[in-house]
Structure 1
C-alpha cells in the first residue's frame, strides 16, 4: 500500500478510536451497539476498535446488571467501561509567546496543567529544556510517576514533516526551523513523543471532543500570531505530502501589500494575523495594546478595534471561500486568539464567504467558533498520545514491570 494511503487510513482509525473512547468516557458503561449508534461508526468498526482497547487493558466488559439473559434468551447484554487510570499522557503546546503543558488520564481528562510565558526569539534547545522542566513539575502536580506516562504529544506553530519529524521553514518560531523536535524531546523525557502542527492538533481536538464531533469533513482555522488550517477530510486528518496542507497564512491576498516573513508580499498573515491587527491600532491606542485588550475594546464598542477585526474577517473569508469551493466541508471551526472576538470576526468571514463561495458550499458549511478555547492545541496533543495508546502502552508497562 502506498505510504500516503497507509497514513490516511491510520489517521482515520486514530480519530475513530478517539470517538469510541469519548463515548466510553461520557457514558461510564455502554454497549457496543450503543457506541455504534452514538458515533455513527459501523458495528464491525466498533468491535475492532474495542478489541484493540481490550487487548491494551483499557476496556473492561461486564454483563448488564440484573440481566441474566438477553432479550431473546441468549447471552446477556455486555456493557463496556474505560479504564482511564491505566496510564497517563503528556501534552506540550508551544505557542508564539507561551508554553502550556498538561497531564491527562487515558480519556484525555486533564489532571494537572501549567503555563509559562515564552520569549518569541527563543531557540529550540532553550524551548525544549523549558518544556522538559515544566513536564516534570506538572507530573508532580498530578501525582503521576514518570513510569505511568505512555507518551507525550507536542504541538508547534509550523509545518511538520511526519516522515522525518523536521520542523518546516515557514514555522512562526524561527529558532525551531530544521529541528527534529520529537527526537529531541524524547531524549529529555525518555518517553515516546509525537509532534504535529498546532492547527492539526486543534482540528483533532475539536473533532474528537469539541464543536466538530459529528462532522466527517471539517476545517479548523487557527488565527493567532500566524494563520493555519487543520483539515479533516472524510474522517481523516489531512497533512499533505510534506506537512504543508493548511498553510493559509501565506496565501496571497494583496499583491502590493507589505512583505511577509516568508518573503512574499501581501500574504493573508500580513492583514489578518493578530500581530498585524495590533500594529495597525498601536498608533491610536497606545504601544502597550494587547490582543486581549483589542478584543475587549471592540466588544465594548471601540470603532477602530471593531473595524480592524471586521476587515480581518473579510480577508479571511476570501481565502476560506476558495477552500469551501474546493473541499466542500460540513463545518468551519474558528479557533486561536482572535476567535475570542466572536461574531465581530465571524460576521466578516460570513460576508466574504457569501459573496465569493458557491451558494451550495457556503450554505452546506456551518461556521462556528471553537468550543475548546486556548486548550484546543494541548487537548489535541493529549488526544494524539491517547489515540496511539495501543502502541505505547505495552512498552511502558513492560518497562515499569
Structure 2
C-alpha cells in the first residue's frame, strides 16, 4: 500500500492526551463511514455516554475537524442536529475502470463530490496503463481544485472482476481486466501516492446505493448491475456479502441454459450470455444489415423499435427468472437495479417484478424491484465509500 505525505487529522489527534486519542479516532472514522449522524445515533453505535460524546465532539470541533448542523424540522420540536466531518479535513479518490471507459472522482470526507471526469479506454488495456491514465485524470482534477495529493486520504479502485481476498488479484481468467495478473494493489502503489483499496465494481456500486442511493432505507437488498457484464451483490444487515474468497455476487454466471452460448468464463448458458450489452448487440445485429453500436441500440429502444424492444424484453425475462431464485434463497427486502441496461430500459424493472410475483414463495411477496438512484458514477462513488470504511485517521 502506497503512503501519502499526510494523513488527515493525525497530527491534531497525536497532540492530544493519550486518553482522548482512541475515542477521537473512533468518532472520526465512524462519521467517515456513515456521515451525517445525530448524537443519539452515534451514542447507540459506539456505546458511548452523552458526557463522553460531548467531550470528544468539542475536542474535534475545536480542531476544525467536525461540523454540526440542524437537521430537518419535524413538528414543533427543535430540529435534531447532525454531526459530520468538515469537508476541509481531507479528500478521497474513487476510480472505476470499466469495459471501455475509466471514471475518476474526488469527494470530500463528508461525502460531497467535488470533481468528476470520464474518458474512453481500450477494452484490452493493461493494468499499468489503466492506472497511469487514472493518475493523469486525478492530477488534472486536483489542479482544477487548486489542491494536491497531500489532501488525499486514500484511493478506492473498482474493477469489473472478482478480487481474491489476500492476493488482491482477479479471480477469473478471460477478457478485459480479467486478463490482469498479480497483486493489483502493488500496481496501484506504482502510480498513486496514497493508501489504495480495490474491489469489484458491482459490489462497490451496491455500497454506493446503500450509503447514498436506493438502499439507504434498506437493511438487506439484492443489487444487480446489468451492463457489459452482469454483476451483482448481496447486502445483509447493511453489510456487503463478499464470500469466502471475495467472489460472491457473480450473478452473471448463474446458468440458465446448460446448452446455451459459450460464456467468457468457460461455461455455457450463463445469464450474461443473454443479458449483457455484447449479447444484446449480437442478437440485434442478426436482424440489421449493419451491426448497431450501443448508442444505436438505445436509439432504437427510444423509437420503440420492435426488434430492439423484443430483445431487451427477453433479456429482462431471463434476469427476472434468475432473480426470483436468488430472492427465494436470500429473502431480501428489495432488488435494486443499476447499470446501462437498467437505465436504458426502465420497463425492465416491471418485467423482473412480474417474475418475482410468479416464481417467488409467498414469504417473499413483499420484495419490490426499484431503480438505483445513482448514475454511471456508482462504481467510483462506491470506491470512495470503500476508502471511508477503512477510516480517515
State the TM-score bracket (shorter-chain normalisation).
0.7 to 0.9
How do residues 241-390 of structure 1 correspond to structure 2 at under 5 angstroms?
241-285=244-288, 287-361=290-364, 363-390=365-392
Q: Secondary structure at the match of 2:123?
A: coil
- Are the structure 2 counterparts of residues 360 and 84 from structure 1 closer, same or farther at C-alpha, using a change threshold of 3 Å? same
Q: Distance in 2 between matches of 1:366 and 1:59?
A: 40
Runs of 4+ off more than 4 Å? 13-19, 46-59, 61-64
CA–CA distance in structure 2, aligned partners of residues 302 and 47 of structure 1: 60
Local SS of the residue matching 1:130: helix
Alpha-carbon spacing, 1:234–1:170, altered in 2? closer, same or farther (3 Å): farther
Partner deviation per Cα, 1:14-66 (whole Å, 9 max, x = no partner): 99756631x35xxxxxx413xx3xxxx872438599769976967537799xx
Matches of 1:150 and 1:53 in 2, distance apart? 23
Which residue, 233, 236, 244 being the options, matches 1:233?
236
Partner of 1:119: 122
Any conservation in 2 of the 1:161–1:168 contact (CA below 8 Å)?
Answer: yes
Give the aligned length.
354
2:168 aligns with 165
1:305 CA displacement: 0.9
Q: Aligned partners of 1:52 and 1:156: how far apart in 2?
A: 37
- Any conservation in 1 of the 2:234–2:241 contact (CA below 8 Å)? yes
- Which stretch has the larger CA shift, 379-388 or 52-61? 52-61
Q: Secondary structure at the match of 1:343?
A: coil
State the TM-score, normalized to the length of structure 1: 0.80
2:194 to 191, 195, 203: 191
Does residue 43 in structure 1 map to residue 44 in structure 2?
A: yes
The TM-score with structure 2 as length reference comes to 0.82
Q: Which moved more, 1:107-116 or 1:237-246?
A: 107-116
Higher helix proportion: 1
Q: 1:92 corresponds to which residue?
A: 95
State the shift of 1:147 in Å.
0.6
Match of 2:66 in 1: 60
What is the CA-CA distance between 1:144 and the residue it aligns to? 2.1
Q: Deviations over 1:111-150 (max 9, x none)?
A: 1111111111112122122222222122212222111101
Kindly provide the CA deviation profile for residues 180-235 of structure 1, in whole angstroms up to 9, marking residues without a partner as x: 11221122112000000001111100000001101110111001111111211111
